[in-house]
Amino acid sequence: MASEKYDVAIVGAGIVGCATAYYLARAGIAVALLDKGSVAEEASRAAAGMLAPLGGENTDPAQPLERFYLTALQFHEQVEQEIQQFSDTHIGYSHTPTLRLAFDDEAATKWQKVENIYKDVLPGLRWLDREEALKAEPLLSDRVQGALISPREHNVQSPKLTQAFAQAASRHGARIFEGRTVGKMIVRENKVVGIETDQGPIAAAAVVLAAGAWTSAWHSQPDQAPVFPVKGQMMALSPLPHQHLRHTIYYSGMGCIVPKADGSICVGSTIERGIFDKAVTVEGIASLTGTVQKLTPALGSARFERSWAGIRPGSRDDLPLIGPSKSTDGLWLAGGLYRDGILAGPLVGHIIAEQIQRHVTPFDLDLSTFDPDRFGGWRGLVAR
């Protein structure tokens, strides 16, 4: 069928695909990582890079998704140490804490409740009243009523981390094919045996779909697409010398303002469901500048640096799709991470790599609710 032959072919070189390639290659497995564009070109380039498991709706850290995201945050500590050694440059972790703001009683009550529920699993989590919040972060709006400080929720430059994973995978022998579009999977007797690409077939005993917002292209029921695009627009600012932002600022329903390791400040992001185009719009920029005006008006004189948009992989029930598909032997799904793919991508890569090697699922996580077949099976091309 094919002259090129690997143990595992991974479709998509975003953070999920690159992390999966690294953990497999580290274990001595022959890996091909393919992308229609280049490494970290799509969502994993666009992200704000917050490593922030507390979304605000979470009320029980023992629930599968909450536990999964908390574990993913912990896992980043290991990732930072391990992956930095493969990169010639700083991989972009910034250890600034996160502040979640309240401008009214309702939000203040919500974050105080979150503090009580999560303080044992996120040490240092503490409600700050208005005075304490303004003292901790002088750039905040003086209309703030208080803020929940979370010292362990950091941020990372997502393109750098993704590229560092790719570099680390490559150093362990993974082959990376950029500019190579993957078409159908090749299936024989209900077992995947490779993939079609625009430059010929590749044989592989296992295939991992880590194609981000494009994953539903391989789903058996396109009208029931489990993964769909959610566009997000972002902008970067260059702060003036006196504008030293000490925290990531997050406000539910509006967005985030994130000080990055390179000194820039990222402001995000719009949520536009069902859209694949990456145009930056007047409305998008207006929404982002509105976020700055409301949360940190003192940054109004910061210099506009650039803007961009990316496509998040949303999922129909807001849960990821992780693990082997029962519809086709040898097929694995790794996606649907929506707004938390930079947080969860490294852990997902590690889990998929362990599962492919038939090891037990790391960290004793319950992944049953993330079953990739819950919206129907996945389709390939029956090989002759």
Binding site for ligand FAD (CB under 6 A): 11-17, 34-37, 41-44, 46-50, 181-182, 210-214, 232, 234, 268-269, 310, 312-313, 335, 337-343, 345
Closest distance of CB 235 from ligand FAD, Å: 10
Closest to ligand FAD by CB, 11 or 298: 11
Closest distance of CB 259 from ligand FAD, Å: 13
Per residue, the 3-state secondary structure of the chain, as one string, reads CCCEEEEEEEECCCHHHHHHHHHHHHCCCCEEEECCCCCCCCHHHHCCCECCCCCCCCCCCCCHHHHHHHHHHHHHHHHHHHHHCCCCCCCCEECCCEEEEECCHHHHHHHHHHHHHHCCCCCCCEEEEHHHHHHHCCCCCCCCCEEEEECCCCEECHHHHHHHHHHHHHHCCCEEECCCCEEEEEEECCEEEEEEEECECEEEEEEEECCHHHHHHHECCHHHCCEEEEEEEEEEEECCCCCCCCCEEEECCCEEEEECCCCCEEEECCCEECCCCCCCCHHHHHHHHHHHHHHCHHHHHCEEEEEEEEEEEEECCCCCEEEECCCCECEEEEECCHHHHHHHHHHHHHHHHHHHCCCCCHHHCCCHHHCCCECECECCEECC
Closest distance of CB 74 from ligand FAD, Å: 14
Closest to ligand FAD by CB, 79 or 108: 79
Closest to ligand FAD by CB, 17 or 259: 17
Closest distance of CB 317 from ligand FAD, Å: 16
Closest distance of CB 303 from ligand FAD, Å: 21
Closest to ligand FAD by CB, 25 or 108: 25
Closest distance of CB 45 from ligand FAD, Å: 7
Closest to ligand FAD by CB, 35 or 80: 35
Closest to ligand FAD by CB, 53 or 324: 53
